[in-house]
Amino acid sequence: MNTKQSTISVLMLPWLAHGHISPFLELAKKLSHRNFHIYLCSTPINLKSIKNRITERYSHSIELVEIHLPSLPELPPHYHTTNGLPTHLNSALHTAFEMASPSFFTILDTLTPDLVIHDFTPSWPPTIASSFNIPAVQLMTSSPRFHETRFHHTIENATKKSKDKQAAPVNDQLFFSFKISMPMHLDQPLNARLVEEVGVAMEVIRDENGRRNREAIAQVIRKIVVEKSGEDKRIKARELSEKIRMKGEEEIDEVIKELFQLCKDR
């Protein structure tokens, strides 16, 4: 497979929460710049809420695909998302998603993607993808340190298994997880690094009641963002931001190499 000429189609299935859908969508946008065609799959209520984020720039490379959950009396369609879901219905949503495998099977049968990228739940994407001889990859969206360890360990194992003729077939489930840094989703370690290296932390004096004064806050912001005295800090912030962006692009490129290889070995 020529990575410069061939288009790979990818079906993405995140968990039904915006905190999971958003990283999947950001990944979809990055992949679309690298000759991937993305089918982003979720419930109608979730897709409706992100439709306006698929701008004209991505309208030809990212398609929204509806997956329909079974109808449960306590879980009408507007509750097929964690957004606004009453706490006592969380388990019902998980159950309904687990019951949606027939819908997913039909989607794969219709779209026949080259690759499936799925979340930690439901449990069936690797098995159903395997029945179509489609590789399945799990995207983890939790702790960044866990991501990094998991990424190197599981890809190394996947490579060893693909070279070992006696190893279990890929279709038995050889998914792997990977880490991706998203500039729009900076985590606390990166924020801490930004504060440490750029030095933008400035104390805002509290009043006699222990509250921070709005004018004092505005003054600090002006010093950092607008005034000439904050120019050196703004330069450092831009430089670090560019380093983080470049690091993210390098990680994406490494992931894409693995994805192309996985599809090539089908």
- Note the Cα 238 to chain centre separation in Å: 24
In three-state secondary structure terms, 198 is helix
CA-to-CA separations, 221 to 205, 235, 246, in angstroms, rounded: 13, 15, 27
Q: Which residues are catalytic?
A: 20, 119
The Cα 183–Cα 238 span in angstroms is: 13
Is residue 18 within a helix (H) or strand (E), and if so which, with residue range?
A: helix 18-32
C-alpha closest to that of 18 among 185, 144, 130, 151: 185
Angle at 235 between CA 229 and CA 236, to 5 degrees: 105
CB 10 within 8 A of CB 35: no
The Cα 210–Cα 231 span in angstroms is: 30
The Cα 190–Cα 178 span in angstroms is: 18
DSSP E strands, 61-217: 62-66, 115-118, 136-139, 177-178
The Cα 185–Cα 214 span in angstroms is: 27
